[in-house]
Each structure stands twice: as C-alpha cells, then as structure tokens.
Structure 1
Amino acid sequence: MTPQLLLGDERTASQLCELGVRRGGVLLVHASMRSAGGSARSMADALRRALGPEGTLVVPAFTPENSDTSRSYLDRVRGLSDRARAEVRATMPAFDPEVSPAPSMGAFAETVRQSPGARRSAHPQTSFAALGPAAAKLLGGHRQDCHLGEDSPLARLYDADAQVLLLGTGFDSCTAFHLGEYRRPEPPRRLYRCVVAREGRRRWWEYEDIALDDSDFAAIGADFGHERPGAVDTGRVGAAPSRLFRLRAAVDFATGWLGRRRADGR
C-alpha cells in the first residue's frame, strides 16, 4: 500500500472515530462506494482500523439471484413467456456459502465477503459476512428457514449491542428494521423458494417465513431520528453523508412503530 493510500485510510478512520464508531465493538455496515468515493478495499481497511483488532465488521451478503420468489427475479422475468421463464430458472445459480457472490449488495460488501478470514452465515438468500473475533458467534446458527429473525445474525447483533453505519445510504436499506417485523404479534407469513446445492446436486427448496416488507423503512428511519433526539449521529465518511446508531435502539423503535402503523394486517 502506498503512503498516500495509507494516509487516506487514516483520514477515513479518523472520520469514523469522530462519528462515534466504537473501538472493539461490532458494526453492521451498509455502504455506497459511489457516494463515498475511493476504493472498497481502502474503506474496509479504514473501518477495521477504526474498530481495532478486537472489533468485528459485518455486512449483508444477500443473494436474491438464486430465488424465483424474489423481487429481482420477478422484475427480470416480467413480460417473458413461460418457456423463457423456465430457461431463466434453469440457469439460476445454486447457493454455496463459500463461493456465491452477492452482486446486489455492492462493492463494499463483496470486498468484505471475499477478504481473508471472513466468515459467512448459512442462509441461502439472506446471509451475512463478517471479519473479526466475534464473527463465528454472530453468524453461527443462522437457520435456513429464518431470513432475519430470532435465529439469524440480526438477533445476535441485537444481543451484542452492535452499531449500524449507513455509509452513503438511506434508512430504506436498514436491514435491522426487519428484526422488528419478526417481533410484531402474529406477523404475516409467505412462501419463499430458492435453489441450493445439497449433496453435490442442485435442488429447489421451498419454505415459509415472515413476509418481509421494506417499503416503509425510510419513514421508520425519519421518525426514529425525529422522535429519538441524539439516537442518530451524522457526519461524512469519505465523501458520503453517513448515519451511525445503535442497532438495538433502532430495532426497538421499529418494533413499536410497526405495531402501530401496520395494524391493518400488512
């Protein structure tokens, strides 16, 4: 690494510390490198520098590309014939936690996922990747019929009092709010289907889980910042306007907000 890049990492790490990233803590990051500028590798290095050797960096590593019930698939096949849809399904990649890319999560998440020593949870659609000493504990036990609930890394992040960094992204991408959906009384459920690799073979697997809906997450985030003064710290990381907050506080707020606003049974 050149001295110029090292200095850039140090400046970004300083921004992260000034924003409030806890040294030695656990941090879930949603990042837009287009907004932040620079390279994803330099940003990952800066975040690890800010967290220190005892800290753990976590990113979503979701793979809607292997599901024919995902929004991305439905957008992709809209208007196609039955035969063309069947051809798309036949070529959809089976999930393998060791190698399956997560292109829709962006360059930063992919950089973390592919870093030496990174771990990944086992869910074939909503896995997480992590670097740091708490990675195995946070990602272990991710049940394959539980996207983002009590048997997912989100609940372990809640227990760990993790922070969330929205680095150039909005609250509409705040995955943590999904845990609030699971904590509503009797949330609606639906069927999901994806293709997985089992015993060396490509297989389709169908399961039931919560009907995930992020359409009102931007509104939840706006109310969270307004109704909980001081809960959200703001500043720039690289060139990106960013927000930092405690995951536990965000989930608790979202649980109450959804209980009031989604009383119509959505």
Structure 2
Amino acid sequence: MNTRETIAAALSRLGVQSGALVMVHASLKAIGPVDGGAASIVSALLDAVGPTGSLMGYASWDRSPYEETLNGARMDAELRHRWPPFDPAISGTYRGFGLLNRFLLQTPGARRSAHPDASMVAVGPLAGTLTRPHELGQAFGPGSPLERFVERAGKVLLLGAPLDSVTVLHYAEAIARIPNKRRVSYEMPIRSEDGGVRWKRAEDFDSNGILDCFAIEGEPDAVETITNAYVELRRHREGLVGQAHCYLFEARDIVSFGVDYLQRHFGSP
C-alpha cells in the first residue's frame, strides 16, 4: 500500500521539482492501491511541486454535446431544451480522461476554464493565468490554456496513462504549417447573464484526427504517433510511481518535436 509520502517521493525521483508547472494525465488503476485513494495522489502531486508550483489537468465535460452536434448534426428539440448548460463550478468531468481530474477540481483554489468540451482545471499560483481566457474556437491552439502552459515551460506527466494521452500535442497540431487539416463544427450550451441558456456554435481543428490518415478508427492518431517517435529519442524521463510506469516530458521540447514531425512528413514541399 502506497501513501501520500511514498508517491510524492517517487514523483521527486522522476524529476517533478518544487516550483514546477505540471500537466498530469493519470490512470488510478495503473498506480495501484494508495492509502487515501485519489485525494492522496493529488496531495502527493501538490507536495512534489510545492507551494510555488502548479498542476493542470484536462477535465472536459461529462455532458458535452460534441458528438450530438458534430458537423451540423441536429439534436431532438426536446433533448436540446433539457440539455444542461456548462457551468465550470459544478459541471462534471469526463471520465475517459481520468478520475483524478475530478479530485483536482475539488481541490481548494482550483480554477476551471470556460470552454465546455476542452475545459482545463488548474491548481496553484498559475491557476487563473492558465485557465483564462478559453474561448470557443480556441480549444487547443493559440489563445488556449495549452499555449500558456507551453509558454511557461510546463512539464507533461503521464502517471500510468498511455502515450496517446499527451494532450499538449494538440497544440502542436494547431500551429504546425501543414495543408489539409481537418476542421469540425459543434455547438455548446452556455448559461447567459440573464440565467437562460444560449447554444453557441464553434469551429475548430479536429483533435480526433488532424489529417485524414490520423482519423482511421483503430489506428494511432497524431498524438500517439508523435509521442512514440519522441520517446525513441530518450529526451524524457521514465520511472515507477506506485505500480505505474510513468513518463515526464518537457512540454516545449515535445511540442517543438511534434510541429517539426508534422511539417517534415506532411508539409508542402
């Protein structure tokens, strides 16, 4: 049985330093039993980065109508009327991106960005700076929390999460100069100032497949492809935290590699 203290010590050995800005992707199952569960893991992460460090996670939204409104799809009128609006303070997090994000959101001082489907949660001195603003149409590219995370020399921690979890590479997809990028449209319900609900339409890059070759079901997407190629360079750190095999990447370096990879392989001559 691991404890908050043993997890924090393992994170330090991996290279998570006091004062660091870390975006964490975690698999609680991979980490194994921890006294106090997910709450203790969050505490251990905060211990590792210290009072001057900050944590960030990809929360998204468990009620996001992304698929229901994708590329002009129309929802049933009654369902649309009953669909809850996104509220950063109370809306749930998407389980597919890990339960740890729910506990991050419950941490005192946590902030959550206003983009429903791409919402980020952050804790620490940089929480406000990282999460605001976050407009529809700027999910992962310029103007997003990911851009500010990269600019502030953040580190990406895969805490037992697979190599296709490196969300910051969606920023690389957005800024890479390559032709034929796939784009999508969708709608999100936003609570208006008068208490009503307004559905807003947005257009953005397709994070599920930036190019046609990365949108084939069952095949690796760009994030997984780039991360696998990057790991072969050995410019990162690896180690065990609990029972989980973990990776620590420098966000600027892996994003720079990702942009170069996309432009070399898919850019115009």
TM bracket, shorter-chain basis? 0.7 to 0.9
Q: Which residue of 2 aligns with 1:79?
A: none
Q: Which moved more, 1:180-189 or 1:125-134?
A: 180-189
* Alignment partner, residue 223 of structure 1: 229
Match of 2:91 in 1: 100
Query: How large is the RMSD of aligned CA atoms in angstroms?
Result: 2.3
- The one-letter amino acid of 1:19's match is L
SS state at 1:45 partner:
helix
1:257 corresponds, among 233, 250, 261, to 261
Could you tell me whether the CA contact under 8 Å between 1:19 and 1:233 is conserved in 2? yes
In structure 2, relative to structure 1, the CA distance for the partners of 1:258 and 1:23 (3 Å cut) is: same
User: Which structure 2 residues correspond to residues 233-248 of structure 1 after superposition, within 5 A?
Assistant: 233-248=237-252
C-alpha offsets along residues 96-124 of structure 1, whole Å, 9 cap, x if unaligned? 11111113232211000111111111112
- Letter of the 1:146 counterpart: Q
1:52-91 equivalent positions in 2, closer than 5 A: 52-63=50-61, 65-67=63-65, 69-70=66-67, 73=68, 86=77, 88-91=79-82
Paired residue for 2:49, among 36, 46, 51? 51
Shift of 1:59: 0.7
The alpha carbon displacement at 1:166 in A equals: 0.5
Counting matched residue pairs gives 248
CA distance in 1, matches of 2:69, 2:159: 28
On the 8 A contact 1:142/1:153 being kept in 2, the answer is yes
Structure 1 residue 173: Cα displacement: 1.2
Instruction: State the one-letter code of the partner of 1:259.
Output: Q
CA distance, structure 1, for counterparts of residue 146 and residue 248 of structure 2 = 17
Q: 2:133 aligns with which of 133, 141, 145?
A: 141
Does the CA contact (< 8 Å) of 1:25 and 1:55 recur in 2?
Answer: yes
Bigger shift: residues 207-216 or 162-171: 207-216
Matched, 1:191 2:182: no
8 Å CA contact retained: 2:69, 2:187: no
**5+ residue gaps, structure 2:** 210-220
- Write the deviation string for residues 111-142 of structure 1: whole angstroms up to 9, x where unpaired: 00111111111112111111111111122222
Aligned equivalents of 2:5 and 2:64: distance in 1?
38
In the alignment, is residue 205 of structure 1 matched against residue 200 of structure 2? yes
Q: What is the TM-score normalised by the length of structure 1?
A: 0.85
Does the CA contact (< 8 Å) of 1:66 and 1:92 recur in 2?
Answer: no
Alpha-carbon distance in structure 1 between the residues aligned to 2:201 and 2:62: 14
> Is the CA contact 1:66–1:94 (under 8 Å) kept in the aligned structure 2?
no
> 1:16-70: per-residue Cα shift (whole Å, max 9, x none)?
0000012111000001111112311010000111111111011111126222x33
Deviations 1:147-204 (A, max 9, x none): 0111111011111100000111112111010001111225443212122211311222
Code of the residue aligned with 1:133 in structure 2: it is P
Find the aligned partners of 2:265 and 2:86 in 1 and give their Cα distance. Answer: 35
